[in-house]
Chains A and B, each alone.
Chain A
Amino acid sequence: MITKRFHIILVIAVVLYLIIIIKMLKERVTILKYTLLWLLTGVVLLVFAIFPKTLKVLAGFFGIYADANFLFISLIVFLMLITFSLTHIVSRQNENNKRLVQELAIMDKRVRQIEKSLEEKDHK
């Protein structure tokens, strides 16, 4: 069972959480594309907070004795999703970064070559 006290704390915490995330999105501190999972987590938590009954039903469905335990497990799952998506993003950024550095190096050599041949032309 979720106590009255925890219910109130949960609602306040989730609302604060959502306000902070939306504020950061509004000010473009974070990009929506990479914040979607955080928003989804917030919305699900909000449903749990406002209607604790859903927690009870879902906990029962998954065969979990205590509502709070189901809340913990769902939070862990969301955190794992978010961290894994970060690994995915970092991997892609790494690939892009590598390609850029390599292309830049090849371009840089070409520029040096052109500058040198121009210099030689000037001397003639």
Chain B
Amino acid sequence: MRRLIIIPAYNEQNNILSVIRNIQSFCQGYDFLVVNDCSKDRTVQVLVENSIPFLDLKVNLGIGGAVQAGYKYALENGYDVAIQIDGDGQHDVSFLDELVAPIEEGISDISIGSRYINKEGFQSSVLRRAGITFLSILIKIVTGNRIYDVTSGFRAINRKMIECFVNDYPQDYPEPESLVTAYKHGATIQEIPVIMRERQGGISSINARRSAYYMTKVSLAILLASMRKRKMI
């Protein structure tokens, strides 16, 4: 099986190298690809100087657009599994094999690294957890399936889902909405317990001012995605 780790990066000059070094030392048998989403800092220079493979988006597309570019690359280059890891060091790559296992065994199409199964490690603030619970319940209502860590950006998908997401992936705040799209396409989704760290640098794309916008937009997107026609693949 050919596996590609996709690492979307926006202004991650201080974190990206340690994320890559971690992958190189702990993960055998994985290729990796950074997708630079038009960073304003020295991210590109860091990538070039260390000859790290990367896609360079010349216009800022948002995290969904960046990850989707990675999926396109994975599809064109014949990868069987695509894994997404944040470029800020939140995700512990020592869980990679556990995350990918259900995909490679053919048990599920999407595997999500979840903070809320064993409730260990960084759990985020109370307010954010409330928001995540709300979205989780909303997804349960429209799809009938309960996923706890719906905003987790630590996930692995198989070839079938790569093909699906190349055609249909939200451009901003993609995580919860893409789960509904996946269910619509008949995907099986599984959560794997992982421990996440607090981000080691940079700033989250979702600050306090944007939370209301985030919740409204994502909730509407979930409802819309659930209303779209079912396409079985």
Interface positions of A (Cβ within 8 A of B): 94, 97-98, 101-106, 108-109
Contacts and interface: CB of A to CB of B under 8 A. Distances in A.
Interface string B187-230: 00000000000000000000000000000000000000000000
A109 B55 contact: yes
B76 A106 contact: yes
Interface stretch (B65-73, B133-141, B147-155): B65-73
Contacts of B72: 102-103, 106
Contact of B54 (A103, A104, A109): A109
A109 B65 contact: no
User: Which bracket fits the contact residues of B?
Assistant: 10 to 19
Contacts of A106: 55, 69, 72-73, 76
7 contacts: A98-B61, A102-B57, A105-B35, A105-B58, A105-B69, A109-B54, A109-B55
Contacts, number: 38
B232 interface: no
A99 to B, nearest CB: 9
Interface of B: 35, 53-59, 61, 65, 68-69, 72-73, 76, 171
A97 B59 contact: yes
Chain A contact residues, majority secondary structure: helix
B160 to A, nearest CB: 20
B41 to A, nearest CB: 18
Nearest to A105: B55
Contacts of A98: 61, 65, 68, 171
A101 B53 contact: no
Contacts of A105: 35, 55-58, 69
A20 B61 CA distance: 36
A33 to B, nearest CB: 24
A109 to B, nearest CB: 6
Contact of A101 (B54, B58, B76): B58
A85 B194 CA distance: 46
